[in-house]
Amino acid sequence: MDSIRTKETWNVTATILDGKALSEEMRAEMALEAAEFIQDSGVVPCLAAVLVGDDPASEIYVRNKQRACDRMGIESKLNRLPEDTSMDELLTVVNRLNRDNDVHGILVQLPLPKGLDETRILRAVSPMKDVDAFHPENVGLIVQNRPRFLPCTPAGIQQMLIRKNIEIAGAHVVVVGRSDIVGKPMGIILMQRGAGADATVTVCHSRTRNLPEVCRSADILIVAIGRTKFVTADMVKPGATVIDVGMNRDENGLCGDVDFAAVKEVAGAITPVPGGVGPLTITMLLQNTLTAAKLQLTS
């Protein structure tokens, strides 16, 4: 049976998909694009982040995004609000940023403190400034294959597959996880017609039957389930490409949703954690901000 393998039959050495190096390459390209846009238009793209409370992980994420903006030559603004901010106060900040013509992209850092309605807040962000692509209007455009912006993590994964010459057209892609941020849009993007897509996609979740068997059928396995080292070597087809979106912590530090040490002996290519998908997520946020500035200049 396909599920019964010995290590001797794998004979696969995985290529490590270095997201950090790829993101640096892409950001260098984008910096040139941004510089040309600024010179031609006189407009400096600006990303405004909204950070509510003092969650340590969110602090790190926002700081990394600000640094990335600075290196690319675009402006960043941080709107820091206290933990006890009310819905009305937060909506007031979002509405002010919507009206600010010098702000082109708005990022509301998630998760928000308890008591704040994330869905309502994300819906309040102008679709033209929604560089996370969470607004229902932008989600609808993605489904129709005419996106204004693509969600940052799925877009980064797609770029990695394209730039690493991993065949997507005709491949069976299995996505483990059905979140609105990664799983659902990832499946939609890769099943569309066109370059970097045309895959056959299966989206799995906690109620999927025979999950290990479904995972073993994947040519490309994308794991975004939020469970430490959930995917093990016996769940991976030899030679498959494995994309680990997870960011967890165990006794040895940061780790993903995939048992990297074991799975790299089976997979054809695999992303590490850290240094895989994460840097590309920020890169695509910068790309969306630049795109937003261009769109608002011509609208």
The residue whose two tokens read 């799975």 is 263
CB atoms within 10 A of CB 205: 13
Whether 109 is catalytic is yes
Out of 130, 132, 244, 259, pick the active-site residue.
132
Q: Tell whether 59 is covered by a domain.
A: yes
| Cβ-contact 149, 125 below 8 angstroms | no
The Cα 81–Cα 209 span in angstroms is: 44
33 in any annotated domain: no
Residues 50 and 98 in one domain: yes
Same domain assignment for residues 57 and 92: yes
Query: 116 and 156: one domain?
Result: no
CA distance 294 to 70: 19
Q: Model confidence at 60, in pLDDT bands (50, 70, 90)?
A: confident
Q: Specify if 54 maps to a domain.
A: yes
Residue 220 and residue 237: Cα distance in Å, rounded? Answer: 9
Average pLDDT of the residues in 3-12? 44
Active-site option among 7, 20, 54, 109: 109
CA atoms of 255 and 273, how far apart (whole Å): 5
| Average pLDDT over the chain, rounded to an integer | 94
Claim to verify: residue 157 and residue 113 sit in the same structural domain? no
Residue 126's identity, in one-letter code, is S
pLDDT for 299 equals 79
Residue 192 is among the residues annotated as catalytic for this protein: no
- Residue 140 forms part of a structural domain: no
Longest distance between any two alpha carbons in the chain, whole Å: 63
Provide mean pLDDT across the span 278-290: 97
- Over 60: is that where the pLDDT of 11 sits? no
Q: Is residue 20 in some structural domain? A: no
The CATH number given to whatever domain includes residue 218 is 3.40.50.720
* Mean pLDDT of the 5-27 span: 78
User: Is the domain of 164 the same as that of 273?
Assistant: yes
Please report the pLDDT score of residue 293 as a whole number.
98
Domain that holds residue 98: 42-129
Q: Is residue 114 part of a domain?
A: yes
Length of the chain counted residue by residue: 299
CATH of the domain at 93: 3.40.50.10860
Per-residue pLDDT band for 3 (boundaries 50, 70, 90) equals: very low
Known catalytic membership, residue 184: no
In a domain, 139, yes or no: no
SS3 letters across 210-242: CHHHHHHCCCEEEECCCCCCCECHHHCCCCCEE
Over residues 5-29, mean pLDDT: 79
Burial code (b: 16+ CB inside 10 Å, e: under 16) for 25-60 equals ebbeebbeebeebbeeeeeebbbbbbbbbebeebee
Residue 193 has pLDDT above 90, yes or no: yes
pLDDT at 186 over 60: yes
Average pLDDT over residues 76-82: 96
Domain check: are 165 and 228 in the same one?
yes
Same domain, 116 and 183: no
**To which residue do tokens 């990832």 refer?**
186
pLDDT confidence tier of residue 12, bands split at 50, 70 and 90: low
Same-domain check for residues 160 and 256: yes
- Are residues 100 and 218 part of one domain? no
Catalytic residue (choose from 65, 129, 229, 237): 65
- Model-level pTM? 0.93
103 is a domain residue: yes
Structural domain count of the chain: 2
CB-based contact 172:220 (threshold 8 Å): yes
Task: Say yes or no to pLDDT of 5 above 80.
Answer: no
**What pLDDT shows up at residue 61?**
87
DSSP label of 12: -
Which residues neighbour 68 within 8 Å (Cβ) at sequence distance 6 or greater?
Answer: 27, 282, 283, 285, 286
